[in-house]
Amino acid sequence: MNFNIIRAARAILNVTNLEESRRFYVDALGFVETTSDHDHIYLRGLEEHCHHSLVLQKADEPSVEAISYKVQSDSDLDRLSVFFSEKGMQTKWLEKGTQKAMGRALRVQDISGLPLEFYAEMETVDRLLQRYDLYKGARVQRIDHFNCAVEDVEMAYHFYIDELGFACSEYTTSDDEQIWAAWLHRKPTVHDVAFMNGVGPRLHHIGFWLSDPMSIINTCDVLASMRYGASIERGPGRHGLSNAFFLYLRDPDGHRIELYNGDYLTSDPDFKPIRWDLDDPMRQTLWGHAAPDCWFNEASVVLDIHTGQEIETKEPKLEKKKPTIIN
Would you list the domain boundaries of the chain? Answer: 5-119, 139-301
pTM confidence score? 0.95
Phi, psi of 38 (to 5 degrees): -60, -30
**Domain 139-301: CATH superfamily, name plus number:** 2,3-Dihydroxybiphenyl 1,2-Dioxygenase, domain 1 (3.10.180.10)
Identical fold between 5-119 and 139-301 = yes
pLDDT (0 to 100) of residue 324: 43
pLDDT in tens, 238-273: 998 899 999 999 999 999 999 999 999 999 999 999
- The rounded distance, in Å, linking the Cα atoms of 113 and 92 is 14
- DSSP state at residue 272: -
- Identify the band that residue 282 occupies on the pLDDT scale cut at 50, 70 and 90: confident
pLDDT in tens, 128-147: 999 999 999 999 999 999 99
- The rounded distance, in Å, linking the Cα atoms of 284 and 323 is 9
**Domain 5-119: CATH superfamily, name plus number:** 2,3-Dihydroxybiphenyl 1,2-Dioxygenase, domain 1 (3.10.180.10)
> Is 15:8 a contact under the CB 8 Å cutoff?
no
C-alpha distances in Å from residue 25, one per residue of 43, 68, 208, 271: 8, 19, 12, 36
pLDDT in tens, 23-51: 999 999 999 999 999 999 999 999 999 99
Q: Which of 223, 246, 219 is nearest to 234 (CA)?
A: 246
Mean pLDDT value across the chain: 95
